[in-house]
Chain A
Amino acid sequence: MEKINNFITNIAEQFDETPPNLFTPETKFKDLDEWSSLIALSLIAMIDLEYNVKIRAEDIRKSTTINDLYEIVKAKMQ
């Protein structure tokens, strides 16, 4: 799988107001002010489109940081 940087860029693109430079592997993405159920669904759709991996609401629920989500996607790609 590609490096986490690209993954972070793809995550950041789902947010309209949060500046992209705020996103790091340690970012607790669900704690961001802009976080919403629409962004959660956008992440699921983006991961399906970009990585051909189907994650579920449960995977978002159990992820705290972007790195947590990255690891889930990476594991499902193998």
Chain B
Amino acid sequence: MNNPFTLQGKVILVTGASSGIGRAVAIECSRMGAKVIITARNSSRLEETFSQLEGKGHSLFTADISKPDVIENMIPNLPSLDGITHCAGIIKNIPFVYASPENIEEVMKINFYAPAEITRMSIKAKKLKRDSSVVFISSVSGVFCSAIASSVYSASKGAINGLLKGMALDLAPKGIRVNSINPGVVETHIFDADVISREQLEEDKKRYPLKRFGKPEEIAYAAVYLLSDASAWITGTNLLIDGGYTLL
């Protein structure tokens, strides 16, 4: 049976694959037949993701992509790619009056510079095949709305959405598609060490028309779609997945 959503035979790089959305994307891509290359800073959690991948031929790189030299060393070791999903990201809840250049830099390094540079270097090294697909995990924040103490995070995600529109144009002649997924709040460990209390999160959950946060795999299914040939005519778009949050 012909399945336009299959990733059979495709090689996909997934950053931030040690937890949350990145882990789910890696696992779902493997279930759809892709060979995945996963990367993250934390090697033990990355190996945990690796052990959950289905099929054979996957590989992993422990890499701190906030460091440009790490990216530079990683790219030549990559095989030819049919897609990249940029899932590595950090959230920083800091009121604007405390958003110093250092704080902004810390967030931009991971959320903006790293995915931009990984894509650019992959193209320069001719690692991204014709008809490949680049997917950024962006956010509702900074593109459709924001939240208190989220200006820096919003800026990083808004920047991604500007970047991808221009990239989509520049890379169209190479047949490379560039899109983002813009999720509302997804249940991940990104909040574990954070400054937002559980009570606030429970309060926030009630503001979602579908009355819950997203699940990592619900974002991963969209990544599978944008990586597959089913989305062959989609480029430069933002796919909003938010349980109806931004309708209100």
Q: Could you give, for residues 74-115 of chain B, a 1 whenever the CB lies within 8 Å of some chain A CB and a 0 otherwise?
A: 000000000000000000011101101000000000000000
* A37–B95 touching, CB < 8 Å: no
A46→B149 contact, CB < 8 A? no
Total count of chain A residues near the partner, CB < 8 A? 14
Query: Do B95 and A57 touch (CB < 8 A)?
Result: no
Cα–Cα distance between A60 and B194 once the two chains are bound (Å):
13
The residue on A at minimum CB distance from B98 is A45
Whether B200 is near chain A, meaning CB under 8 Å from some CB there, is yes
0/1 interface trace, chain A 33-77, chain B, CB 8 Å (1 if under): 000011011101110010000001110110000000000000000
* Chain A interface main SS type: helix
Query: How many interface contacts (CB-CB < 8 Å) are there between A and B?
Result: 37
A40: chain B residues at CB < 8 Å are 195
CB pair B196 A42 closer than 8 Å? no
Is A38 touching B95 in the complex (CB atoms < 8 A)?
yes
Would you call the interface of chain B mostly helix, strand, loop, or mixed?
loop
- What interface size band does chain B fall in? 10 to 19
Which of these, A42, A44, A45, A57, contacts B200 with CB under 8 Å? A57
Q: Is B197 part of the binding interface, using a Cβ–Cβ cutoff of 8 Å? A: yes
Fill in one digit per residue for A6-41: 1 if any B CB lies within 8 Å of its CB, else 0.
000000000000000000000000000000011011
Chain B 124-148 interface mask (CB, 8 Å, partner A; 1/0): 0000000000000000000000001
Q: Is the CB of B197 within 8 A of A46?
A: no
Determine if A56 and B195 form an interchain contact, defined as CB atoms under 8 angstroms apart. yes
A-side interface residues toward B, CB under 8 Å? 37-38, 40-42, 44-46, 49, 56-58, 60-61
